[in-house]
Amino acid sequence: MSVAAGRPGVLRRLYDWVIGWAGSRWAVPALALLAFSEASFFPIPPDVLLLAMALARPRRALHYAAVCTLASVAGGVLGYGIGAGLMDAVGCALVKAYSGEAVFDLLAARFTQHDFWAVFVAAVTPIPYKIFTITAGAVGSDFWTFLTASLLGRPVRFLALALLVYFVGPPVKRFIDRYFNLLSVAFVVLLLGGFALVKGLRGGADEGGPAAADSAYLRMCGGQGE
């Protein structure tokens, strides 16, 4: 008996609903909006919707990945703008909301020398991308380096998923259908792991007096970091 057998759970019903809905005329705009917002302020990544849409229409998988990539890069530009011009009004609160103060401090100390690789690595990891984009703008990272790294890094994440569906197709869907519950748990663990890593870094920074005193986040945001 497959893992997915029995009465469908909430996630399974949601997955089936998204698969059925993925062919609607609103699917692509919704994917673009989700990818855009996730790169600058929204917590939910677009990967699940991208996968569902690609599984529903495998021949369109690469198109969906391209939409996801471009929208995510555009959202990253918004995140950069928030850090560059709206850090006090918006950026500080967003970083704090994701417990990203320690990541902000780490990036602020390294962005000037490793701008490209910091953004590129962030573009393919489960760590909330918005923290990287906001920090890049806040510390004055070179915009064109930031944009280039985003354009090269985001496709690695989204196109890898789309290429798998495009070339393998139905077997991927059968595999997901069979092991859906297990894969759902794995995805949630990865997502929460990214946030847990951020929180862990924050906790480590809080324990170090000198490091906390030299916090770039506290210098920029003042009392908002309390």
14 part of a folded domain: yes
**How confident is the model over 19-74, as pLDDT tens digits?**
666 677 888 998 999 899 989 888 778 887 888 888 888 889 999 999 999 999 99
176 part of a folded domain: yes
Q: Read off the pLDDT band of 1 (50, 70, 90).
A: very low
The pTM of the full predicted model, rounded to 2 decimals, is: 0.74
**How confident is the model over 175-220, as pLDDT tens digits?**
666 656 666 666 666 655 655 555 554 454 444 444 444 677 888 8
136-155: burial string, b at 16+ Cβ within 10 Å, e else:
bbbbebeeebbbebbeebbb
What is the model's pLDDT at position 141?
A: 86
3 part of a folded domain: no
Q: Read off the pLDDT band of 3 (50, 70, 90).
A: very low
16 part of a folded domain: yes
59 part of a folded domain: yes
Residues with Cβ within 8 Å of residue 50, at least 6 apart in sequence: 31, 35, 64, 65, 68, 158, 161, 162
31 part of a folded domain: yes
State the total domains in the chain: 1
What is the model's pLDDT at position 221?
A: 86
For residue 141, the enclosing domain spans 10-225
2 part of a folded domain: no
1 part of a folded domain: no
What is the model's pLDDT at position 25?
A: 82
